[in-house]
Structure 1
Amino acid sequence: MIHSKGVNINDSSPSLEPHFSLTASVNEIKVKKLIMDRFQGEVSLNCLPRTSRIRHRTRHLLDSNSNVFNHGMELLRSRAKTEEADQKKTQSEGVKQRETPKATSTPSSSDDEWEKVNERGKGSGGSGTGSSQTRESSFEGVIGFFHPFCNAGGGGERLLFAAILATQRRYPNALCVVYTGDHDASKDQILNNVRNRFNIELNAARTCFLYLSTREYVLASKWPHFTLLGQSIGSLILGWDAVNLLVPDVMIDTMGYAFVLALSKWLFPNLPTGAYVHYPTISTDMLSSLHTEVSSGQGLNAGLGKGTKGRAKQVYWELFAKLYSWVGGSVDVVMTNSSWTQNHVSTLWSPARKKRGKKKAISVVYPPCAVEELTAKIPVDAESERTRTRNLLYIAQFRPEKMHHVIIDAFNAFLKSYKHLIQDGPTPKLILVGSVRDDHDEKRVYKLRLQTQEIKDHVQFVVNAKWPQILDFLKSSSVGVNGMWNEHFGIGVVEYQAAGLISVINDSGGPKADIVIDIDGKPTGFRATTPEQFAAGFAEALSLPADEAFAMRQRARKSSWRFSEQVFNDAWTGHLETLVELAGPQSKLRR
């Protein structure tokens, strides 16, 4: 049976989370025997619809471990109180212990790079006011964050921990539990990474990591065929793993696993669920891209809809889109990171949500962008204009969807076609800054280096750069580049703007819809799709008269303030309050 949700409090174990690690082992034979013994003779269940019987029996199976669930919950709470007491003892004499931490933030290197959160003032963590704020802040439930790759160090992880920080400010007595599959990192290691990469200081006593044992089932490599469907099925396995460890009072997915929320809602109908969607698993743009030319740059599947195999792929994607729409209809609160994502998620999920009586609209909650830090450290004035180089900067993880090869081709075309722009001064350089996650990324960088052999003196690769170096590049470069098709939001583009760079971006997704838009009726950057268009955009950006370039930099910086951390904090807190209200004043495990 599913047993021994062993609660380990051994801080010295290197392979386990140092304070709490709830692990599950499954004995298949015992599970089968348990099911046979438990449900033999339950004639009354036969009167229920088949799906209701399955749900009842599944929840009954989970109930068999209720003592372990409750025991684990009490241990988590007890440890949290112990840690808080220890924190108070270590405070300097005369310094009042704060219930929630402050954070200073430094901006990120890209949408998926090391990204850091600026300091927010006290009292900014919620939309509630007065006595209701004080009363509701006493919520002591468990808020679960489903994020199996929480130690990846990308933009999604920055959002996760910024959200936890805002949650702890709003509900300092709540316990924030992160479901993760990062077994190679302990709690202390993860929190240190959060501190070093994002400069976010969480309340460690109220932060817990529960380790999932089935993360391999959501890897694309596990499903070489029918990958979308396979990963979705794998997420159900991972979701089952999570609820076997602990059923929270509120479940929030911050990584795009809508099927996990559907499973949680199916097992526990009263469990409030929330989703922060960075990118829809499938979209109408993906379907249409199958019939476009590969040269259009519309993603990795562009042009694959031709022939019998292509038509079969089209049908498969359309059927999966219907399934994705159905599972999305079960989520109580849906947040998206851009209006582009909102439009696509609304198209897919809204009909199903309406049928299920979900009244709360799908909302845009922009990721927190630390424009304050950049505006403080990087001036945009007459003096800074004299010190800027003519370099082009592209900050993005070295992943295939970032389309580095397109930008390299575009830069090569720019050097060949616009020689008149570079005759009177130093030749512009293309600086590619990004992180490398694994061997696949390293091989990708190697291939990109080979691609640049013809222009290698004018292209610079900077792998796993530290923040001070990235800050120098932002301060000295003139143009910021984003080549990804349908980038869901584009924190890196916001940071280009905050640093005063003129952006040349892919004419799609969040950067097009939300970021590089006209301010005061005038442009803040340029858009492109093909290598030739990017080359023309580089030429336009670098050939602007000095006064026009300076004015565009100022407009870009002004535009970036629309994505401040305060805006994120207020929006996140408002949606979180809705979920806590759904959880009720005295939340209990829902079975």
Structure 2
Amino acid sequence: MAFPSPAPAPSPSPSPSPSSSPSPSPSSSPSPNLSSASPAIVPLFYTVLLLLPLILVIVRSYIRSRVKRHSFGFFHPFTNDGGGGERVLWCAVRAIQELDPLALCFVYTGDVATPDSLAERAHNLFGVVLPRPVEVVRLSYRHLVEASLYPRFTLLGQSLGSMALALEAVLRRPPSVFVDTAGYAFSYPIVKLLLGGRAGGGGGAGGVGGGGAEGGGGGGGGCLVVCYTHYPTISGDMLQRVQQRTAMYNNDDTVASSSLLSSSKLYYYRLFAFLYGWAGGHADTVMVNSSWTEGHIRRIWTRNRPSTVHRVYPPCDTAALQALPLSRPEPGYVVSVAQFRPEKNHALQLRAFAQAIKPTALSDPDPTAGAPSEPDPMAGVRLKLVGSSRHREDERRIELLGCLAVSLGIERRVDFAVNIPFRDLQQLLGSATCGLHTMWDEHFGISVVEYMAAGAIPIAHDSAGPKLDIVVPACPALEGGSAGKMGQAEEGGEEKEEGVGEGEVEGLEGEDSGGKHEGGNQVSEQSEPLISKGEIEADPSASPVGFLATTEDEYAAAMRAVFAMSAEERERMATAGRERAKRFSEENFEKGFKDVLRPMIGCS
């Protein structure tokens, strides 16, 4: 029997496998259609972009409505550093409060503090008595300006962090005058962006900035930006060191030894210098602490008019030191007061001292031995290194310096005094014959002023603040001579490259002597006194007040020169130095500070 062929059945569609799913039809797809959505996104983006200026205007108007007249905000995120910068802060606050009886002063700080605790700190630590307490504006994001947060591109990272910190400060408490005493130049554009205003905009007899009768009205004259700059964040000298591939504490050997890394860092520094100048140009009034800082700021902050940059020497508390007697015990000692940081270059001090005492026995003198035919001026002289240690890194540096003293054979003539009380420091200064300063390009040099006020002869680095402002005039380079009364450098007068030599101690290579020195401050023997009594009595400021040096030879020669003087000669030079130190008093700082601000804020 034949069966009919069945009609062909339609092919069944394959059943979906677990690993695949049917392609959804366009009509049933839940996925968004990007091409159809993009026309809605683009107008929204441009709308927000166009509204940004309006949003900024509204925010600025709101912030400025909160500005009170006579309000001064001091931007000093670290109010516990205990250094010269903090002294400037409290002396500036006192000057403002005395200048403007209506002044409302507040401090932007990241420290946990109260108005009473800050007033007590200013009094106990610096002897500054505030007419009335300041208000405290606590900053929560201070860590953004800490160097430890930026192991690379530290300058740029801290600068951007200061912009964020300034934003927080202004949002928390907007001032009519923003006073930066910590050197955060990148904060100025933020203040100007949010508060506006230029010098003279909100002045007048009624005060500065702000608005209505209660100080809360809007409008006003915007915010004035005043800064006290201790040193430029970047300078031409820093660029030169990178360009010349000079290894130093802020230009390590890895970068200095590589042409590629040096070129890259040079471009980075140039870009940063441009941005730094742009940011600093937003300051209405600039005060600097020295001639050296003034020169660099004028060159870098090109947007600032020359009339806006004023040199106001920092306040130095020398009243107690000025009262110390000028006579010194025998055989005397050399003192060095500086934090144990790489740039202070303590290694140079040790090597110079070792060279200065070479003609003597390196051990303590034997009292039973007969007196030499020609007494050595350095016999029995000791070196006392005084400074603060902040952390383990500083402690390690002190240990290395001790090892260097041992390798030089002078450990029995060197003392370390670490973190001593101020009372003990005064006693050490009051009995020191001379004081050493070896930091290259230090912007000012308060320790040098303290030496002079205490009656110790300064031997300072021949650069920056000590050279241009403090040790003025210095003892001139003396012609000829030998290793006699006034001492001299090594035979032949050759200058030596500084740095820890081979076979000495590793770990201090970052310390730098400042390189070679031309036309240095060599001293030599002479029969006449260095200065005459008549010169001092006629014009103390015209008499030499100390020595300048750069190389190991020059420092050694200067030390021998000081100890070769008679007691009368040393006392005459100390008198001239003490007179010079009076220029850097707290009274002169506050007078200069008031003179600069008086025309801005309209106070008589």
Is TM-score (shorter-chain normalized) higher than 0.5? yes
**Alpha-carbon distance between aligned partners in 2 of 1:285 and 1:424, rounded to the nearest angstrom:** 38
Equivalent residues in 2 for 1:120-269 (5 A)?
141-183=70-112, 185-205=113-133, 207-269=134-196
Secondary structure of 1:352's aligned partner: coil
Number of residues of Structure 1 aligned to a counterpart in Structure 2: 456
Please state how far the C-alpha of 1:143 moved relative to its aligned partner: 0.4
Please state how far the C-alpha of 1:151 moved relative to its aligned partner: 1.3
Please state how far the C-alpha of 1:426 moved relative to its aligned partner: 5.0
The 3 A distance-change label for structure 1 pair 289 and 45 is closer
Secondary structure of 1:255's aligned partner: coil
Counterpart in 2 of 1:570?
A: 591
Equivalent residues in 2 for 1:15-34 (5 A)?
none
1:344 aligns with 2:288: no
One-letter amino acid of the structure 1 residue matched with residue 595 of structure 2? G
The CA deviation string for residues 347-393 of structure 1, in whole angstroms up to 9 with x for no partner, is 111x3124xxxx633110001223333222x122xxx24x3652111
1:283 aligns with 2:211: no
Counterpart in 1 of 2:381?
A: 428
Please state how far the C-alpha of 1:546 moved relative to its aligned partner: 3.4
**Alpha-carbon distance between aligned partners in 2 of 1:308 and 1:147, rounded to the nearest angstrom:** 38
Alignment partner of 2:318 out of 350, 362, 371: 371
1:397 aligns with 2:369: no
What RMSD in Å do the two structures reach over aligned CA positions?
2.9
Counterpart in 2 of 1:556?
A: 577
Alignment partner of 1:538 out of 524, 541, 559: 559
The answer to whether the Cα contact below 8 Å between 2:111 and 2:138 also exists between their aligned partners in 1 is: yes
1:57 aligns with 2:7: no
The CA deviation string for residues 83-137 of structure 1, in whole angstroms up to 9 with x for no partner, is xxxxxxxxxxxxxxxxxxxxxxxxxxxxxxxxxxxxxxxxxxxxxxxxxxxxxxx
The 3 A distance-change label for structure 1 pair 65 and 289 is closer
Please, which moves more after superposition, 225-234 or 457-466?
A: 457-466
**Alpha-carbon distance between aligned partners in 2 of 1:159 and 1:279, rounded to the nearest angstrom:** 13
Q: Which has the higher helix share?
A: 1
Gaps of 5+ in 2: 1-42, 198-222, 362-371, 474-539
Counterpart in 2 of 1:18?
A: none
One-letter amino acid of the structure 1 residue matched with residue 320 of structure 2? E
The 3 A distance-change label for structure 1 pair 567 and 424 is closer
Alignment partner of 2:446 out of 491, 494, 510: 491
The answer to whether the Cα contact below 8 Å between 2:243 and 2:263 also exists between their aligned partners in 1 is: no
Please state how far the C-alpha of 1:165 moved relative to its aligned partner: 1.2
The 3 A distance-change label for structure 1 pair 249 and 450 is same
Higher relative contact order (CA 8 A, sep 6+): 1
Counterpart in 1 of 2:461?
A: 506
**Alpha-carbon distance between aligned partners in 1 of 2:56 and 2:339, rounded to the nearest angstrom:** 41
The CA deviation string for residues 204-244 of structure 1, in whole angstroms up to 9 with x for no partner, is 44x01211111111111111111111111111111111112
**Alpha-carbon distance between aligned partners in 2 of 1:202 and 1:461, rounded to the nearest angstrom:** 36
1:301 aligns with 2:228: no
The 3 A distance-change label for structure 1 pair 55 and 445 is farther
Identity %: 38
Please state how far the C-alpha of 1:66 moved relative to its aligned partner: 8.0
One-letter amino acid of the structure 2 residue matched with residue 287 of structure 1? L
The answer to whether the Cα contact below 8 Å between 1:305 and 1:314 also exists between their aligned partners in 2 is: no
Gaps of 5+ in 1: 1-38, 47-52, 74-139, 586-591
The CA deviation string for residues 421-445 of structure 1, in whole angstroms up to 9 with x for no partner, is 9857752221122222333333333
Please state how far the C-alpha of 1:252 moved relative to its aligned partner: 0.7
Give the TM-score normalised by structure 2: 0.70
Give the TM-score normalised by structure 1: 0.71
Counterpart in 1 of 2:544?
A: 523
One-letter amino acid of the structure 2 residue matched with residue 465 of structure 1? I
Please state how far the C-alpha of 1:299 moved relative to its aligned partner: 5.8
The answer to whether the Cα contact below 8 Å between 1:332 and 1:360 also exists between their aligned partners in 2 is: no
Secondary structure of 1:334's aligned partner: strand
The 3 A distance-change label for structure 1 pair 452 and 294 is farther
**Alpha-carbon distance between aligned partners in 2 of 1:272 and 1:65, rounded to the nearest angstrom:** 15
The CA deviation string for residues 564-587 of structure 1, in whole angstroms up to 9 with x for no partner, is 322211110122223424xx99xx
One-letter amino acid of the structure 1 residue matched with residue 586 of structure 2? E
**Alpha-carbon distance between aligned partners in 2 of 1:497 and 1:294, rounded to the nearest angstrom:** 33
The 3 A distance-change label for structure 1 pair 502 and 532 is same
The answer to whether the Cα contact below 8 Å between 2:63 and 2:194 also exists between their aligned partners in 1 is: no
Equivalent residues in 2 for 1:440-455 (5 A)?
440-453=393-406, 454-455=409-410
**Alpha-carbon distance between aligned partners in 2 of 1:214 and 1:443, rounded to the nearest angstrom:** 30
The 3 A distance-change label for structure 1 pair 188 and 547 is same
The answer to whether the Cα contact below 8 Å between 1:390 and 1:428 also exists between their aligned partners in 2 is: yes
Please state how far the C-alpha of 1:500 moved relative to its aligned partner: 1.3
The 3 A distance-change label for structure 1 pair 196 and 45 is same
Counterpart in 2 of 1:123?
A: none
**Alpha-carbon distance between aligned partners in 2 of 1:224 and 1:425, rounded to the nearest angstrom:** 45
**Alpha-carbon distance between aligned partners in 2 of 1:388 and 1:254, rounded to the nearest angstrom:** 43
Counterpart in 2 of 1:17?
A: none
The answer to whether the Cα contact below 8 Å between 1:258 and 1:328 also exists between their aligned partners in 2 is: yes
Secondary structure of 1:427's aligned partner: coil
**Alpha-carbon distance between aligned partners in 2 of 1:522 and 1:196, rounded to the nearest angstrom:** 36
**Alpha-carbon distance between aligned partners in 2 of 1:388 and 1:371, rounded to the nearest angstrom:** 25
Secondary structure of 1:153's aligned partner: coil
One-letter amino acid of the structure 2 residue matched with residue 379 of structure 1? P
Please state how far the C-alpha of 1:328 moved relative to its aligned partner: 1.2
Secondary structure of 2:105's aligned partner: strand
**Alpha-carbon distance between aligned partners in 1 of 2:460 and 2:187, rounded to the nearest angstrom:** 34
The 3 A distance-change label for structure 1 pair 299 and 508 is farther
The structure that has the greater radius of gyration is: 2
The answer to whether the Cα contact below 8 Å between 2:360 and 2:376 also exists between their aligned partners in 1 is: no
The CA deviation string for residues 162-214 of structure 1, in whole angstroms up to 9 with x for no partner, is 1111111112321111111113x444433332222111122444x01211111
One-letter amino acid of the structure 1 residue matched with residue 582 of structure 2? W
The 3 A distance-change label for structure 1 pair 439 and 501 is same
The answer to whether the Cα contact below 8 Å between 2:226 and 2:284 also exists between their aligned partners in 1 is: yes
Please state how far the C-alpha of 1:289 moved relative to its aligned partner: 2.3
**Alpha-carbon distance between aligned partners in 2 of 1:226 and 1:243, rounded to the nearest angstrom:** 26
The answer to whether the Cα contact below 8 Å between 1:143 and 1:174 also exists between their aligned partners in 2 is: yes
The 3 A distance-change label for structure 1 pair 331 and 542 is same
**Alpha-carbon distance between aligned partners in 1 of 2:316 and 2:44, rounded to the nearest angstrom:** 57
Counterpart in 2 of 1:77?
A: none
One-letter amino acid of the structure 2 residue matched with residue 236 of structure 1? M
One-letter amino acid of the structure 1 residue matched with residue 123 of structure 2? R
**Alpha-carbon distance between aligned partners in 2 of 1:474 and 1:525, rounded to the nearest angstrom:** 15
One-letter amino acid of the structure 1 residue matched with residue 390 of structure 2? R
Please state how far the C-alpha of 1:64 moved relative to its aligned partner: 6.3
Secondary structure of 2:412's aligned partner: helix
The answer to whether the Cα contact below 8 Å between 2:243 and 2:266 also exists between their aligned partners in 1 is: no
**Alpha-carbon distance between aligned partners in 2 of 1:435 and 1:54, rounded to the nearest angstrom:** 50
